[in-house]
Amino acid sequence: MDHGPEEIALAVNRLRSGGLVAFPTETVYGLAADAFDPRAVARVFSAKGRPAHNPLIVHVSGPSMARRVVQNWPEQADRLAASFWPGPLSIVLPAADDLPRIVTSGGPTVAVRCPDHPLTLALIEAYGSPLVGPSANRSGRVSPTTPQHVRASFAGDEVFVLDGGPSSVGIESTVLDLSRDPPIILRPGVITRAEISSVLGVDVAAGPAAGDNPEIPVRSPGMLDQHYAPRARAQLVTASGVAALPPGTVVIGFDTSGEGMAVVMPRDARGYAAALYRALRDADAACPPGGRIAVVVPETGGQDREVWEAVMDRLRRACADRE
Ligand code: AMP
Ligand code: MG
């Protein structure tokens, strides 16, 4: 994972020729292309199998580069950037007229963030221009938190992978729509509504994903978008439900009984988030053909309640009914 300037130069060359580079971030690994090169961005969509209606987040080295992709960089955005960048907060604002609309899925707004990883900040600086960076996995599947995860999804030469070690946060950024009044959280993450509200001095609204708290286990076909999904079918179970699972079920849970627990998770919200996608991938690998994964619902209270909400958002989608 020790990448010198040569690796960055190779990655820059790849981007200049319209190619794809996987970069490490603190959230998950991203699949980068030049945000102002529509053909390169189209390659990102096709490599991922991503639907054209799912817009990409643009990655920048800081607020001055962010100004290039938006119409206007408001004072509120400056305050958020000063508090949370580099870091896992994406800010949605009206898009600059010259930003290719393939990036925004044709919409009038763009999401922008500055990732907190030295290698990727160096890459963006060296490239000198904003990069799109959706998660470096096939659309709908489990996000990658290591370079090995990225390589498992893409053929050898298709993507140049910058190895920056495991992602420290482990789940995707909080997405905040600052084009609305009041601003609204579109996707929960480890930067919380409470933190954002306090920096802005206004009550930020919770999006549909952040606020709901459905009964467990989730059983509402069509209600939840399936996403972050392992290959094997996955379901949420309570700790007391583990004993009743059919034999051969691969369980992601906590080390209480010590019995039948294939993947043991940390009990704190941030530790759980950092371990989540690796756990889903490991469980998938351990699952026999036709087997199932069961995820024991964590205890989600306490001071990191909002981080748990972000974790539960991912778990519900990973375990959503398929059809
Ligand atoms: P991913 O790149 O896989 O982390 O997904 C990016 C997500 O960011 C999308 O699925 C949207 O939820 C959100 N997003 C990106 N751009 C916009 C935008 N212009 N407006 C609203 N949400 C956005
Ligand atoms: Mg993704």
Give the span between the Cα atoms of 227 and 74, in whole angstroms: 32
- CA–centroid distance, residue 119 to ligand 1 (Å): 23
Report pLDDT digits (tens) over 119-153: 999 999 999 999 999 999 999 999 999 999 999 99
Instruction: State the pLDDT at residue 208.
Output: 64
What is the CATH number assigned to the segment(s) 5-206?
A: 3.90.870.10
Ligand 1 atom closest to 111 (CA): 16
Q: Which atom of ligand 1 is nearest to the CA of 90?
A: 8
Q: How far does Cα 181 stand from its chain's mean position?
A: 25
Q: What are the C-alpha distances in Å from 26 to residues 23, 165, 168, 209?
A: 10, 10, 5, 22
pLDDT recorded at residue 214: 40
Give 293's strand partners: 234, 250
Tell me the pLDDT band of 115, cut-offs 50, 70 and 90: very high
Ligand 1 atom nearest the C-alpha of 143 is: 3
CA of 5 relative to ligand 2 center, distance in Å: 28
Tokens of 127: 């490239």
Measured CA to CA, the distance from residue 215 to residue 220 in angstroms comes to 10
Q: According to the model, what pLDDT value does residue 257 have?
A: 59
- CB 189, CB 172: distance < 8 Å: yes
Give the per-residue pLDDT at 217.
36
pLDDT at position 225 is 73
* Local confidence band at 238 (pLDDT 50, 70, 90 cut-offs): very high
Q: In the prediction, which pLDDT does 222 show? A: 38
Could you give the CA distance from residue 233 to residue 39 in angstroms, rounded to a whole number?
35
Domain boundaries, the chain: 5-206, 234-318
Instruction: Look at residue 307 in the predicted model and tell me its pLDDT.
Output: 97
pLDDT for the residue numbered 219:
36
Q: Distance, CA 247 to ligand 2 centroid (Å)?
A: 32
Query: Helix 269-286 vs helix 305-318: angle between axes, to the nearest 10 degrees?
Result: 20
| Ligand 2 geometric centre to CA of 44 (Å) | 12
Distance (Å, whole) CA 135 – CA 159: 13
Closest CA to 30 of 147, 110, 140: 147
| Nearest listed ligand to the Cα of residue 144 | 2
Pick from 155-169, 221-235, 296-310: least confident: 221-235
Which ligand is in closest contact with the Cα of 173? 1
In short, whether 319's Cβ falls inside 6 Å of ligand 1 is no
Q: 170 φ, ψ to 5°?
A: 90, -15
How much is the average pLDDT of 71-96? 98
Residue nearest to atom 4 of ligand 1 (CA): 134
Q: Is the minimum distance from the CB of 143 to ligand 1 under 6 angstroms?
A: no
Please compute, for residue 70, the number of CA atoms within 13 A of its CA located in the half-sphere on the CB side.
27
Mutate to test the pocket of ligand 1, among 44, 105, 137, 187 (most ligand atoms within 8 A of CB): 187
Q: Ligand 1 within 6 A of 111 CB?
A: yes
Mutate to test the pocket of ligand 1, among 29, 175, 177 (most ligand atoms within 8 A of CB): 175
- Does the CB atom of residue 186 touch ligand 1 within 6 A? yes
Distance CA 138, CA 119 (A): 23
Q: 26-40, 98-112, 155-169, 244-258 — which is least confidently predicted?
A: 244-258
Write down the number of H helices and E strands in the chain: 10, 14
Q: What distance in Å separates the CA atoms of residue 256 and residue 247, rounded to the nearest whole number?
A: 18
Does residue 102 line the site of ligand 1, with CB under 6 A?
no
